[in-house]
């Protein structure tokens, strides 16, 4: 039995026991759907509080710095467009030599606030990095609140809780990963890509030819 299934079985059993005791004390009986919903919330909170980073964490960098091989630096930013009721996502991935391996400019048609847009952009960056073949990723963004939430340094605000939980689960698939905060000046390329997303219909990606990422050609795809 894997750890995830074991955690689920134990949490369901405990929740049923807790509900039974509440009924014995004269409280209302919970439905099975309500119990399962609470089980999911408990497991999400547990996983977010207990996932471990594989590398030391660095905070508050001013200038952009090259990652050490075999790491790739994944810089990300989110921008809000109130007039379009949409948000822009900008992601740029660079290797230890500072060369661009891939980039993404994507519009998310959803009315998000500034903090929610930053969190959503980080989630998109995790998905994009995985899709292009990155397995050792150092994610960097200019929102300290989002980074601290992912690291568990501070509690997530309710509006980004589900996004942060999803990020914590997705990065477990990487061979190694790291999160850090960078000041806006060190995150400018990602910021420009996030602003550019406002002018796209859906998304634009650039992926550079790179044997390590198993890419055969340089291509531009858009939608």
**Joined tokens for residue 82:** 């109130």
As a whole number of angstroms, the distance between CA 34 and CA 27 comes to 15
The 10 Å Cβ neighbour count of residue 182 is 27
DSSP states of 32-82? HHHHHHHHHHHHHHHHHHH---SS-----BSS--PPPTT-EEEEEEEEEET
* Contacts of 37 by beta carbon, 8 Å cutoff, 6+ apart: none
Indicate whether 129 pLDDT > 90: yes
Q: Is the peptide bond before 175 cis (omega within 30 degrees of 0)?
A: no
Indicate whether 127 pLDDT > 90: yes
Indicate whether 174 pLDDT > 50: yes
The 10 Å Cβ neighbour count of residue 210 is 18
Indicate whether 216 pLDDT > 60: no
Provide the residue ranges of all domains of the chain, joining segments of one domain with +: 3-50, 72-222
Name the band, by pLDDT with cuts 50, 70 and 90, for residue 212. very low
Cα–Cα distance list, 193 to 87, 102, 104, 159, 185 (Å): 12, 12, 7, 24, 14
Cβ–Cβ < 8 Å for 90, 143: no
Query: What pLDDT is attached to residue 164?
Result: 95
* Contacts of 181 by beta carbon, 8 Å cutoff, 6+ apart: 59, 60, 61, 140, 141, 142, 143, 144, 147, 148
Indicate whether 9 pLDDT > 80: yes
As a whole number of angstroms, the distance between CA 34 and CA 64 comes to 47
Q: Which CATH number fits domain 72-222: 3.40.50.720, 3.30.420.10, 3.40.50.2300, 3.10.129.10?
A: 3.30.420.10
Name the band, by pLDDT with cuts 50, 70 and 90, for residue 53. very low
Indicate whether 50 pLDDT > 90: no
């Amino acid at each position: 039995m894997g750890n995830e299934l074991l955690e689920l079985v134990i949490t369901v059993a405990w929740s049923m026991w807790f509900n039974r005791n509440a009924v014995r004390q004269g409280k209302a009986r919970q439905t099975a759907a309500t119990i399962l919903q609470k089980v999911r919330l408990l497991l999400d909170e547990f996983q977010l509080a207990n996932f471990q980073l594989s590398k030391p964490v660095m905070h508050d960098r001013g200038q952009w710095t090259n990652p050490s091989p075999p790491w790739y630096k994944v810089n990300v930013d989110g921008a809000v467009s109130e007039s379009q009721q949409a948000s822009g996502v900008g992601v740029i991935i660079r290797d230890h030599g500072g060369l661009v391996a891939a980039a993404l400019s994507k519009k998310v048609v959803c009315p998000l606030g500034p903090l929610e847009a930053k969190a959503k952009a980080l989630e998109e960056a995790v998905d994009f990095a995985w899709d292009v073949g990155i397995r050792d990723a150092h994610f960097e963004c200019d929102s300290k609140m989002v980074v601290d939430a992912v690291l568990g340094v501070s509690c997530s605000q309710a509006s980004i809780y589900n996004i942060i939980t999803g990020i914590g689960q997705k990065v477990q698939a990487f061979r190694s990963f790291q999160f850090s905060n960078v000041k806006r000046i060190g995150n400018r390329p990602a910021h420009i890509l996030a602003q550019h997303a406002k002018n796209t219909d859906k998304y634009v990606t650039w992926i550079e030819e790179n044997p390590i990422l198993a890419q055969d050609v340089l291509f531009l795809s858009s939608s």
